[in-house]
Structure 1
Amino acid sequence: MVDVSAGLGSFSFEAELTEEEKGLIFLRARSAGLTFCGCAHAAFLCKLVQSLRYVIKGPTADRDSLASGEDSDICVGILGLGHMGKQLLLALLEKSGIKPSHIKISSRRPESAVESIKTGVECFFDNGRLAAWADVLFLCCLPSDLHKVCADIHSHLSKHCLVYSFTSGVPVTRLAQLLGHNFILKPQYDFFACDTADVWLSCTHLTAALTDPLLIEASSPLSTSGGISVGLNWVSAVLYSLLNICTSTSLGSSDALSVINTVLKDKSPHAVELDAHNFISASKAASLHTEEYFPWISLTDAQTKETPLMCFLSSSTSMQQSISAAYKSVLCPPH
């Protein structure tokens, strides 16, 4: 189809803007970039958690799953089906490898989720039910709705449910108070001036954008090439999340490290081997027996205080490169 308005300046988006408004055009790219990065990073996390579960179950997973009538997919809940919730659902269906039957949505208007239901994703309006069911729960609600949402799910969250919040303006410490829960991941994005920030304007269709190597590169957690970065704090919290999941499945410290290193090496063959000293203090690591569990790590503390893992990540260029390679391998695998 021919675009009859092509080349006609009077039909462009910018034509009717004042000079002052034109100075804010960069926010269009930033908004698109934040949505893309948020969805891509969430899909990466889910893929790591999914892979972790498969490695923990081991080679008998398929046989056991068939015998029990279940499989090893994690259960992912999306609370809120506004713009972010819808885009996140598309990203998870496209990139996480999680079956639609293992994704559920709670929305005030489940009748508006016709397209989601067609994919096999169940949608209803019961926040408590969703929280009780999910292994990973994404909060995509408005800040104005957060207090009610937290009241709905507070008593339904298991200790081992990873809550991932996209709700803006509410820090992780406040979320922890509202939920009485410390297994919460809240991405914090930093912005940088760069000449390539307009790359995000091509994100008109998320599913197509998620196949673009340039966008995947720009969204890499430690990259600043697109003017947006989630940084080492998020990476540290993701790795602590994997450690907690191992602890919740009663893996001893030696096995937990082996499983996490196996997952990372599967995504990035040259990944650096992590050991106990990278996660906990030297004194605790020295006294930790191989069959003993790692202590449960508060993600609230992991995102607000200096941790051994954050210190390690900050000083290890090779580990940063391994994480970036793993991210690109998951979202843009080689053919």
Structure 2
Amino acid sequence: MVDVSGDLGSVSFEAELTDEEKDLLHLRARSAGLTFCGCAHAAFLCKLAQSLRCVINGPTADRGSLASGDDRDICVGILGMGHMGKQLLLALLEKSGIKPSHIKISSRRPESAVESIKKGVECFFDNGRLAAWADILFLCCLPSDLHKVCADLHSHLSKHCLVYSFTSGVPVTRLAQLLGHNFILKPQYDFVACGTADVWLSCTHLTTALTDPLLIEASCPLTTSGGISVGLNWVSAVLYSLLNICTSTGLGSSDALSLINTVLKEKSPHAVEFDALSFISASQAASLCTEEPFPWISLTDAQTKETPLLCFLSSSTSMQQRISAAYKSMLCPTHQII
């Protein structure tokens, strides 16, 4: 069937806008871009953590020193099923490779998640239960609900649960205080002037958009081709979170570095690799035995202070290229790595 109105400008959305309103159309692109980038970056983090978990629990792993059990999937919780929570769930089901049975939702209106339940995702209203179960917990609640949500979570979060916050207006330092927890990652997005920011207007349907190599390219954390930047601090915190995952299993520093390099190398041809000096100071690295785990890293500090990893990433174009290649190929396997 042909849409006879498809070429009629008089019935388009923009036709009814005043000149002043048309000046604000770029805000639609920004909103769509922020949602897409938030979901894509979260899926990338989950994919990295999932890949690392699989390598750690692989057939050649030392079972005596690693987490018990043969279930290799990480457990992902989403708290809040508003617009962001629903879009995030779609992205994780589409791109993370995590089974629906390993994704759970806590919402004040579980009945609104009927479609998710059909896909095998469990939904309930119990924030504490979700926190106690999850390896990665996404906060998608409103700022006005944050104090109550943090009170619900405070006594249930394990040290090794990574809290990823999409709640706006609340800095990571404040979240750490409210939760009594320092394993928190909060993306900070900035808008950068560029001529291709309207690329986000094509993000009408997230699941379709996540298959578009141009949109994946535009959302890459280490480029600004789409006019939205999350910066090196976020990338640094993601990599420190992988290091903490290794530390939580008791892996020695040498094995941890090898596995993190492996997870990235599988997706990229670039040869540059991480070593101990990439993550910790020279004095700490000198005193760290290869069989000894890395110290636990506060992600709050990693996002608010200058760290060895941030300095390394800032100075290493090759490593930035490697991470960018990993991002693009993980989210869009058909993407041609250059």
The question of a shared fold, defined as TM-score above 0.5 by the shorter chain, is answered with yes
Cα 1:271/1:174, change in 2 over 3 Å: farther
Q: Which runs of 5+ in 1 are unaligned?
A: none
- Following superposition, the deviation at residue 45 of structure 1 comes to 0.4
What does residue range 1-335 of structure 1 map to in structure 2 within 5 Å? 1-59=1-59, 71-334=71-334
Report if aligned partners of 1:77, 1:138 keep a CA contact under 8 Å in 2.
yes
RMSD value over aligned CA atoms?
1.6
Which ranges in structure 2 are unaligned for 5 or more consecutive residues?
none
Please tell me the residue identity of whatever aligns with 1:236.
S
Aligned-pair distance for 1:70? 5.2
- Residues 298/40 of structure 1: CA separation in 2 closer, same or farther (3 Å cut): same
Indicate conservation of the 8 Å contact 2:77/2:103, yes or no: yes
How far does residue 69 in structure 1 lie from its aligned partner after superposition? Answer: 8.0
In 2, Cα distance between the equivalents of 1:17 and 1:210? 30
Q: What CA distance in whole angstroms lies between the structure 2 residues aligned with 1:231 and 1:4?
A: 45
The 4+ residue runs of structure 1 with deviation greater than 4 A are none
After TM superposition, give the deviation of residue 116 of structure 1 in Å. Answer: 0.3
Asked whether the equivalents of residues 28 and 201 of structure 1 are also in contact (C-alpha less than 8 Å), the reply is: yes
Partners in 2 of 1:332 and 1:148 — Cα distance?
Answer: 38
- The one-letter amino acid of 1:332's match is C
Distance 1:87 1:272 in 2: 35
The residue identity in structure 2 corresponding to 1:333 is: P
Provide the rounded CA distance (Å) in 1 between the counterparts of 2:219 and 2:245: 26
Query: In the aligned structure 1, how far is the partner of 2:60 from the partner of 2:72?
Result: 11
Amino acid at match of 1:16: E
Distance in 2, Cα, partners of 1:175 & 1:12: 43
Structure 1: distance between partners of 2:263 and 2:207: 25
TM-score of the pair, normalised by structure 2: 0.95
1:225-249, CA deviations, whole angstroms, 9 ceiling, x for partnerless residues?
A: 1111111111100000000010000
Instruction: String of CA shifts for 1:205-234, please: whole Å, max 9, x gaps.
Output: 111111101001001111111111111111
Q: Distance in 1 between matches of 2:305 and 2:24?
A: 34
Cα distance change of structure 1 residues 302 and 32 upon mapping to structure 2, 3 Å threshold: same
Cα distance in structure 2, aligned partners of 1:103 and 1:318: 35
3-state SS of paired residue (1:138): strand
| Whole-angstrom CA distance in 1 between matches of 2:70 and 2:54 | 13
Structure 1 residues 102-111 or 255-264, which shifts more?
A: 255-264
Alignment check: 8 A CA contact 2:30 2:200 kept: yes
Paired residue type of 2:135: D
Secondary structure at the residue paired with 1:242? helix
Counterpart Cα distance in 1 of 2:203 and 2:306: 35
Are residues 69 and 274 of structure 1, via their aligned partners in 2, closer, same or farther at CA, if it must alter by over 3 Å? closer
TM-superposed CA distance for 1:271, in Å, is 4.5
Give the C-alpha shift of residue 60 in structure 1. 5.4
Q: Is the 8 A contact 1:113 1:123 kept in 2?
A: yes
- Hey, what's the Cα distance between the residues in 2 that align with 1:322 and 1:51? 16
Length, aligned pairs only: 331
Q: CA deviation at 1:15?
A: 2.3
* 1:303 alignment partner AA: Q
**Structure 1 counterpart of 2:167, one-letter code:** T
Amino acid in structure 1 at the alignment position of 2:228: I
Task: Give me the whole-angstrom Cα distance separating, in 2, the residues matched to 1:317 and 1:148.
Answer: 43
Q: Does the 8 Å CA contact 1:253/1:289 hold for their aligned counterparts? A: yes
Higher mean C-alpha deviation, range 143-152 or range 266-275: 266-275
2:57–2:70 CA contact under 8 A, matched in 1: no
Structure 1 contact 264–271 (Cα < 8 Å) conserved: no
Instruction: Please give the per-residue CA displacement for 1:90-114, whole angstroms capped at 9, x wherever unaligned.
Output: 1101111000000000000000101
CA contact (8 A) 2:190 2:229 kept: yes
Change (3 A) 1:70 1:277: closer
Post-superposition CA distance 1:243-269 (Å, at most 9, x none) = 001000001111111111111111213
Letter paired with 1:252? G
1:68-105 per-residue CA deviation (whole Å, 9 max, x = no partner) reads 98521000000001111111111101111000000000
SS at match of 1:324: helix
Task: State the TM-score, normalized to the length of structure 1.
Answer: 0.96
